[in-house]
Amino acid sequence: MRLITTIFALLLGLSGPVLAEDMPVIRAAVLKIGTVNWELTTITDGGLDRANGFSLQVQPFADNGATRIAVEGGEADMAVADWIWVARQRAAGKDYVFIPYSKAVGGIVVPQDSTAETLADLEGGKIGIAGGPLDKSWLILRAYAQQQYGMDLKAGTEQVYGAPPLIFKSAMGDQYAGAINFWHFLAKNKAAGMRQLISVEEAGQALGLDTNTPLLGYYMKESFLEQYPGLAQSFFEASRAAKLELATSDAAWEAIRPRMNAATEAQFDQLKADWLAGIPDRAPVDTEAASAFLALMGKLGGPELVGDATQVPAGLFADVK
């Protein structure tokens, strides 16, 4: 498939300089080592952007804050965030639009020799949490523990907050009864033998949430998209084509392997498996299901998490199919 899309892209390029000049450019602000680079590299290296009528330029930044400033200040056209954050920005007056990317979420892992079978078994222990007290995985697991076991997970455990790499390393050293982290750090924990006690997806399903709703996505300004009718769908097509290639081609994974920071074959295999598991169904975002999730986040995290987004803002989700 990579060969076909590359040939098609070359044919587009041979059709003349006017076409190339007229082609919209999307400047993507991303973390230099972020996992979204796996998909974006597959798009650019395979010519999937030009095959869909635009040119993608990837701009690396050191942290998420910098990517957000770049989009807000007009230095970039697109970045990646969870849709709750994008909804908060739109409710505050920014014209951000969300395009689905991934439903990959974390969970909680325990040491290999842990006897814990449920969250209730972590009572009295330390839980390492990346992302802070408003981390969405932590909030969902708290709601699940309350529903299933009548347990206040926050009151019944000691929380240790830290940056994702720190939580990852400390978890590897068996410093926690359980650890909650971003999915790719958890993949490496699992590759080293740690055991996933429960995933956020399982907990969400038990809470009645639609866990196929993509939590992560690309966001662009509506004003930018209005300059190029159909660009949101064009980008979505390129994103889905990259997902298809990664889902069907071992060669596609070998091409991005240098970007994956996988120290072992086990890490590579687990990262690949968990990334593929995060591919959402190709379908418009279910606004009703998103509303239920937003309501739960508002209940658990309050205005500090959702801001003025007490309901899904109109126009939040791009009209892509």
Q: Catalogue all structural domains in the chain, each as residue range(s) with its CATH number.
A: 2-103+213-306 (3.40.190.10), 107-206 (3.40.190.10)
pLDDT tens digits, one per residue of 210-225: 988 899 999 999 999 9
pLDDT tens digits, one per residue of 277-314: 999 999 889 999 999 999 999 999 999 999 999 999 99
At residue 16, the pLDDT reads: 39
* Contact (Cβ atoms closer than 8 angstroms) between residue 40 and residue 56: yes
* Contact (Cβ atoms closer than 8 angstroms) between residue 156 and residue 123: yes
| Token pair in block for residue 205 | 């399903």
Instruction: Give the chain's mean pLDDT.
Output: 93
Rounded Cα gap, residues 211 and 200, in angstroms = 9
Rounded Cα gap, residues 264 and 306, in angstroms = 39
* Contact (Cβ atoms closer than 8 angstroms) between residue 96 and residue 150: no
Asked whether residue 169 carries a pLDDT value surpassing 90, the answer given is yes
Q: What is the CA radius of gyration of the chain?
A: 20
Rounded Cα gap, residues 243 and 248, in angstroms = 9
pLDDT tens digits, one per residue of 110-134: 999 999 999 999 999 999 999 899 9
Closest CA to 153 of 182, 119, 108, 117: 119
Asked whether residue 26 carries a pLDDT value surpassing 80, the answer given is yes
Going by pLDDT thresholds of 50, 70 and 90, the confidence category of residue 6 is very low
Going by pLDDT thresholds of 50, 70 and 90, the confidence category of residue 38 is very high
Q: Tell me the mean pLDDT in the region 250-254.
A: 97
